[in-house]
Amino acid sequence: MQISNYLCAMIKKLLITFLTFVFFTAVFCQNDDKANVLAVERNAANAFTKHDVVVLNSVFADDVNIISATGAVENKQQLLQAVQNINSVTVSDMQVRIEGYIAIVTGIALETGKDDNGVYSNKMRFTDVLEKTKGVWKIIASQATAVQQ
């Protein structure tokens, strides 16, 4: 009887230790994922400012769906062509929600640039959807809404 009670106690301790390890591992992994998702967003903003199409090409999925602040639907090629008109992009107030391999980011973007109508400055609320594939987060969808400055 004593051996059976001892084994039960050991199994309970091992199970509690294992579950604690799994819980804390999941918490720390999600924190790492949030930091990585925020880094993707900041890298994209910096790449717009620097006209770095190589970085933009790497952070946006090939089949990304983009809805601009004017309601236009754009693809990746159109996005990469529009980079030349942009002077700067800054992002702020970002919130991240992760569900498995999908992340949803909301925030504020301030974009300045020059187009056919002259110099512009747009403040937008945005929602980006990112997918983690092979350990890499990429933007698969983006939607922006113009807001008053």
**Residue 117 per-residue DSSP state:** T
With tokens 């004017």, the residue in question is 70
What whole-number percentage of the chain has pLDDT above 70? 80
Q: How confident is the model at residue 27, as a pLDDT?
A: 44
- At residue 8, the pLDDT reads 61
Q: Name the DSSP class of 63.
A: E
Q: Do residues 30 and 22 touch, judged by C-beta distance below 8 A?
A: no
**CA 144 from chain center: how many Å?**
14
| Predicted TM-score (pTM) of this structure | 0.78
Please check the confidence at residue 105 and state whether its pLDDT lies above 90: yes
Give the whole-angstrom CA distance, residue 89 versus residue 43. 10
Give the DSSP H or E segment for 136: strand 136-146
Ordered domains of the chain (ranges, CATH): 2-146 (3.10.450.50)
Beta-sheet strands, E only, within 4-85? 60-67, 73-74
Residues 6+ apart with CB under 8 A from 111: 48, 86, 88, 89, 120, 121, 122, 124
Is it the case that residue 29 has pLDDT exceeding 50?
A: no
Q: Whole-number mean pLDDT of the chain? A: 88
Rounded Cα–Cα distance for residues 10 and 5 (Å): 9
Looking at the DSSP bridge assignments, the partners of residue 86 are 113
Q: How far apart are CA 111 and CA 86, in angstroms?
A: 7
Q: What pLDDT sits at residue 93?
A: 97
- In which band, very low, low, confident or very high, does the pLDDT at 22 lie, cut at 50, 70 and 90? very low
Helix, strand, or coil here: 62?
A: strand
- Local confidence band at 43 (pLDDT 50, 70, 90 cut-offs): very high
Span 49-92, pLDDT tens digits? 999 999 999 999 999 999 999 999 999 999 999 999 999 999 99
